[in-house]
Structure 1
Amino acid sequence: MARIKDVAAQAGVSVATVSRVLNNNPSVTEETRNRVHEAMAALNYRPNAVARSLRTEATRTLGLIIGDILNPFFAELARAVEDEAREAGYTVIIGNADERPDQQDHYVRTLLEQRVDGLLICPTAEVTPLVEEVSRGERPLVFLDRTLSGVEVPSVRADGSTAIAELVAHLRALGHRRIAFVSGPSTLSTGRERTEAFLRAAAEHGLEVPEEYVRVGDFRAGSGQRITSELLDLAEPPQAIFLGDNLMALGALDEVRERGLDIPGDVALASFDDVPWFNHIHPRITAISQPTAELGRRAVRLILDELHGRATESVVLPATLVVRESCGETGTRKEDGS
């Protein structure tokens, strides 16, 4: 088995230089770095990560805790985090909180025991004592997608307010006046923000939103189907239903299909969170697209800045409206004055 001094001899550099390359020290020139990597490849050298971490107090690992691994948004987010971290020489350990505070805390403890260099957390609704403690500690911590009230931590998230306003304007232009919104939990920052943006946009367009038209789901398909059923059973059902995430939109689609209703003829559908399959069903689903991959990449860069003692600022990226056919085409729905 090749040793670090064998790599140094092969590359024609000192052992200290090889060590600096392994630890991504910026003082090493690109030409020297390439020679060392070529020598490592030629000798099939594999650095001992455990031994290095004991010497440097760094494991070159990051912990990522996501809300729900079955949600396509979080799957794409995790992939982007992993890709960006790998390019920087870090490995990512992923934990699925399943939207449960106790499960989240389990992974926080486990990852801290594994001595990860930093934590990226998509926080659940509750501010747990453990997360508060970590936020006050020395371990770098970044919130991703969501924030927690009263916890001062750098964050990376998307702002969908402008895109939601554009969606409401689009629906209004198509003649839809009775518009319902199925939000995520109000205990989550994303649930609150999307609800507030929808109600604000509706008011700006002179649309009255009855209390029964604003429902709270849990960002999962079951709640989307159940609430869509309740909305369609109202004495005056909505002409359009805006779902607060892609899984609830899937549940709404199931309910509409089971009833044999036409989209958008009988009811229009739109979703927050665009996913690839929205573009491959009929009709294609109008959706608000978050810059998911960029959120993941920026989160990794932010936590690496923390790790290297550089100044950090929270990042907010805009979401965008993607108009397709599920809400209708201009001029197809007549005003009914309701």
Structure 2
Amino acid sequence: MKDIARAVGVDVSTVSKVLNDGGISVRAQTRQAIIDEANRVNYRPHALARNLRTQRTGALGILLPDLTNPIYAETVHGAMRQAEQSGYVTLIAEVSDERRSAAAYMRLVSERRIDGLIIAVSAETEEMMAAIEANPVPHVFVNRRSSIGRSVTVDDQASGRLAAQTLIDAGHRHLAFIGSAPELDTSRRRRQGFVEVCAAAGLAPVLDIVGPVSRRGGFDAMHKLLDATRRPTGVFAFNMLVGIGALAAARVRGVRVPDDISVISLDGEDAIFTAPPLTAIATPLAEMGARAVVELEAMIDGREPQDVVIDIPPKLIYRESVAGPPNE
């Protein structure tokens, strides 16, 4: 800082206040000269000292149910990259049992170790809502719409519509959706888009199987579909894990994919290694995580955040799990 002051010809205190947003009244030309010299020598304000002055921790929390789930992992990576660019470190709390999410929230915020929190748990429990109300901290929900806070999501209905149209264009007339309980708004919106297109095409009602959005959930759901009186020929799986489970169940039952039944999933960019490679709809997960950090920063700085739907349209990744229906 002394070198910057010497180069510009001002006091060290003036440099300090300009670079640390001290609110000092300085001529625009002098302020710009200080900033230019600081950039030239790659000067960065001392983060710890700045945080002590502003009573901030310089940390953001992320609360999620399963870090091994590739969908959550990609979202978290996007959030972490944006947080790093903004000068924050991130603390991750994994909650395998979402009924305990309120307790995890309390652990993160009770000692004020974070400036804000990104919440990626699947469902809003009464305990979680009460914890947020009793111990408020700037927070943003990601990949979930919420009645108790701002949210950053993708257009799940558009993904559902694209899945239905892809199967219909391949010739399918009997379709099914493997999803979660309607309390999970992402599942509800994906189903809504899927059903809208099916109804517009004059198809029979969509078969619904509700269960855990996991490999096991997809495995069990596919068994139920294969046992149905009217077996569907095309299946839309809630996410890549559900799709992988569905493929495994078909293989166990001796049902060929895609010769006997077609399967398409959401968020399956990495499903190229399944057998057969899983046709999928890619959504901008990393962008969603990054935007959540941007909106969270707005809250921390006292600005008004927004509910955001990422406007990047879903993209079909056509592989080998979708074909025309079998001859009936």
Q: CA deviation at 1:202?
A: 1.6
Q: CA deviation at 1:225?
A: 0.5
Partner of 1:110 in structure 2? 107
CA distance in 2, matches of 1:124, 1:107: 14
SS at match of 1:218: coil
Q: TM-score, normalised by structure 1?
A: 0.82
Residue correspondence of structure 1 range 148-159 to structure 2 within 5 A: 148=146, 150-151=147-148, 153-159=149-155
CA distance in 2, matches of 1:131, 1:33: 45
SS at match of 1:225: helix
Partner letter of residue 196 of structure 2?
A: R
Partner of 2:183 in structure 1? 187
Partner of 2:266 in structure 1? 272
Residue correspondence of structure 1 range 154-303 to structure 2 within 5 A: 154-209=150-205, 213-276=207-270, 278-303=271-296
SS at match of 1:181: strand
SS at match of 2:122: coil
CA distance in 2, matches of 1:301, 1:245: 26
Q: CA deviation at 1:185?
A: 2.5
Q: CA deviation at 1:85?
A: 0.6
> Is there any run of 5+ residues in structure 1 with no aligned partner, and where?
1-7, 41-46
Partner of 1:3 in structure 2? none
Residue correspondence of structure 1 range 39-58 to structure 2 within 5 A: 47=46, 49=48, 53-58=51-56
Q: CA deviation at 1:116?
A: 0.9
Q: CA deviation at 1:163?
A: 2.8
CA 1:168–1:216: 2 relative to 1, 3 Å: same
Partner letter of residue 297 of structure 2?
A: L
Partner of 1:34 in structure 2? 39
SS at match of 2:264: strand
CA deviations 1:289-324 (Å, max 9, x no partner) are 111111011111111112222232211125414141
CA 1:48–1:176: 2 relative to 1, 3 Å: closer
Partner of 1:76 in structure 2? 74
**Identity over the aligned pairs, expressed in percent?**
27
CA deviations 1:247-292 (Å, max 9, x no partner) are 111111222223343211011010022232x234454322221111
CA 1:9–1:141: 2 relative to 1, 3 Å: same
Q: TM-score, normalised by structure 2?
A: 0.84
CA distance in 1, matches of 2:200, 2:62: 39
CA deviations 1:1-60 (Å, max 9, x no partner) are xxxxxxx335447267457646899977542433564588xxxxxx573x6544321111
Asked whether the equivalents of residues 65 and 95 of structure 1 are also in contact (C-alpha less than 8 Å), the reply is yes
CA distance in 2, matches of 1:174, 1:182: 19
Residue correspondence of structure 1 range 81-92 to structure 2 within 5 A: 81-92=79-90
CA 1:110–1:334: 2 relative to 1, 3 Å: closer
Partner letter of residue 209 of structure 2?
A: R
CA distance in 1, matches of 2:136, 2:106: 15
CA distance in 1, matches of 2:257, 2:121: 35
Shifted more, 62-71 versus 72-81: the winner is 62-71
Asked whether the equivalents of residues 240 and 327 of structure 1 are also in contact (C-alpha less than 8 Å), the reply is no
Q: CA deviation at 1:82?
A: 0.5
Which of 306, 309, 312 pairs up with 2:305?
312
CA distance in 2, matches of 1:325, 1:122: 29
> Is there any run of 5+ residues in structure 2 with no aligned partner, and where?
6-10, 25-30
Residue correspondence of structure 1 range 17-28 to structure 2 within 5 A: 17-18=15-16, 21=19
Partner of 1:44 in structure 2? none
The yes-or-no answer on 1:120 pairing with 2:123 is no
SS at match of 2:154: strand
CA 1:107–1:22: 2 relative to 1, 3 Å: farther
Partner of 1:43 in structure 2? none
* Alignment root-mean-square deviation, CA: 2.9
Q: How many residues align?
A: 314
